[in-house]
Structures are given as structure tokens and as C-alpha cells.
Amino acid sequence: MMEQAGILGLGCYLPPRKLTNKDLEKMVDTSDEWIVTRTGIRERRVAPKEVAASDLGVEAARLAIKDANLKPEDIDLIITATVTGDMAFPSTSCIIQDKIGARNSAAFDINAACSGFVFAVTIAKQFVDSGLYKNVLVIGTEKMTSLVDWEDRSTCVLFGDGAGACVIGKTKDRHIVSYFLGSDGAGGNLLKLPAGGSRIPATEETVKNKMHFLKMEGNEVFKLAVKVMADAANKAITKAGFLCTEIDLLIPHQANMRILNAVAKKMGLPEEKIFFNIAKYGNMSSASTAVALAEASKEGRIKKGDKVCLVAFGAGLTYGAVVIKW
């Protein structure tokens, strides 16, 4: 088998503290029943106050590098997908680089929101295929609980913290066979964090008006998510020369159980071919697909030769899919 860009190692890290739906019942006007039936979420992880996205990312990165039988010095490039980076700059990738001692690497962040990990894996593949870099560390890390409004029941029940990582390099198996990326900036207003950037810098007013919290038009996002996730997966699968029904495991961004079921139905895939961890973690933005891929592999859900499709959708709007032949 020829060597091609593929997965050398995987890892993930979830902060230990769980916030259950019952806990949320004491914080906002909601119920375990509403959250479970409308979203499929039962609990989510919350990182401590002093822990930032880089700290979660470091744990996942160390595990992925170890799993790849490499050392931090062997990493040539670090790409971190995050919307909850430690600060606007320096990049979270640079902070992680320093903490893990990957002193021979270049490092930068990307922002494609919930699709970030899928975008970053695709970027990593280009660097490996071109021969510019040998070992690329890709991280999806988020502390989503740092930007949700804990008084807004329509969003605070949805999100959680976590990180996943993989090392991409030339391998004999676990090849990235195809990908598809797309964006629709016209839908940018549906999901955003309004203030704190150059458009609306932080002021007393922006804090008072809660403009530093995530805002989402859930219903609109829901409808689009089903359509574009199924489309993106179809396009990547077709590009790989496979049929949708040949996919052994679909690993989707974990935004809402009902979205995932609708995507599966559209693609003609039975439920057992879909990977779910939304009940345990909620929506971790770019970390969702990264954690799901690492967990699916660790739990033995993927066998050698399996066709796996990662698919995501998020703010931007952004969407994308990657097909991996295990």
C-alpha cells in the first residue's frame, strides 16, 4: 500500500467536572425532559475557571503525539481550530507549542467555528501531500462555557468544553481520501459573538448589553445544518468514489441529536452507523468532531478498511466533510 497523508495518532481530553441537566434546572427555567427530547444532551463538561482552551488542547495533543509514537520535537506544524482561544493573540497554537515543547514547529490557528477540525485536517493534508511538512498536529479545543450566557436557556444548555487532536503524516493506512469544504458568509448573523472584535470593541456598554456572549437563531441554524451536512458528506463521499450507503461510520459534529438523525435519514444510513457522544458532552464546537474521532477509534468502533466520514457545520456559516479509509 502506498504511503499517503493519513492519521498517525489520536487523542482527546475532557475536563472531569460534569454539569447535568438536573444542575441546569436550578440555574434557568428548563427541564431535563426538554433538553433530552429537543437535543439529546444529558450532561456536558465544564473546565475550571483557571483552565483555558490551550490547557485542554495540550492534554489532547500530548496523547495524540504519544499515540503516533512521536515526540513533540518531531512535530513540524501545529494547527489549532478554536473560537475560544486563550486570547485574541498570540495564537492558541503558539501557546500550546510552548507548553508541549514542540520547538521545531510552525504554529497558527484557524477559525471555522464548529467545522474547524474538519477544515484543519484538510489544511494539514495539503502540507503533508506537498511534502512541506512531515508531521502536522491538528487540534480542536474549546472552552465554550466561557462564552455562553448562563441566563439564556436557549443556548446555555447546549454547549460544553473539551479537546481532541490528531497527528497527520504519511502512512500506509487511515488515509484521508477526500474532502469537501464550503462556506456561506450570508448566514453569518445566525450564529455569532457580536462584541470584543474590531467592529465592536469591549466597553462598559457591551458588557452590560451581554454582547460578549454567543447568540444563535437556533431554528434557522437547525434547518440549514441538516441540508448542508448531508450535502457536504455526499460531496466528499462521491469524490472518494464511494456510495453513501458504503460508509461504515459517520462521525458528525454533535450539535443536536435530531439534526444527526435527520442527516442520517437523508443519507440513507441506519442509526448504528452514526457516532453519537452528544449525550455526554453537548456541543463542543471544533472539539466535537475531534473528540468523536478519537473516541470512536478508542472504543473499537472502526475496523481496518472501514470507510469513515467526518462531517461538520457551524458559524460562518461553514461546512465540510472528510473521508478516511481506515
Nearer to ligand UT7 among residue 60 and residue 259 (C-beta): 259
C-alpha cell at 247: 460508509
User: For residues 11 and 68, what is the distance between their CA atoms, to the nearest angstrom?
Assistant: 10
Under the binding rule (CB under 6 A), the answer on residue 190 touching ligand UT7 is no
- C-beta of 159: minimal distance to ligand UT7 in Å? 8
Give the other-Cβ count within 10 Å of 76's Cβ. Answer: 18
Contacts of 45 (CB under 8 A, 6+ apart): 14, 15, 16, 17, 18, 19, 160, 161, 162, 281
Cα–Cα separations (whole angstroms), residue 317 to 25, 115, 116, 204, 252:
31, 9, 11, 29, 16
Q: Give the residue at shortest CB distance from ligand UT7.
A: 218
Please choose, out of 27-35, 94-102, 120-128, 164-172, the segment that lies near ligand UT7 by the rule CB under 6 A: 27-35
Please choose, out of 30-38, 162-170, 261-269, 271-279, the segment that lies near ligand UT7 by the rule CB under 6 A: 30-38
Angle between helices 92-100 and 53-67 (to 10 degrees): 50
DSSP 100-156: HT-TT-EEEEE--GGGHHHHHHHHHHHHHHHTS-S-EEEEEEEEGGGSS-TT-HHHH
Q: What track of x and - describes contact with ligand UT7 for positions 134 through 153 (by CB under 6 A)?
A: -------------------x
Which residues within the stretch 222-261 sit at the binding site for ligand UT7 (CB under 6 A)? Answer: 222, 225, 255-256, 259
- C-beta of 308: minimal distance to ligand UT7 in Å? 21
Which residues within the stretch 274-293 sit at the binding site for ligand UT7 (CB under 6 A)? Answer: 283
Please choose, out of 78-86, 214-222, 236-244, 303-311, the segment that lies near ligand UT7 by the rule CB under 6 A: 214-222
**Catalytic residue set:** 114, 253, 283
Which residues within the stretch 67-126 sit at the binding site for ligand UT7 (CB under 6 A)? Answer: 114
Residues that bind ligand UT7 (CB under 6 A): 30, 34-35, 38-39, 114, 153-154, 157, 218-219, 221-222, 225, 255-256, 259, 283, 314
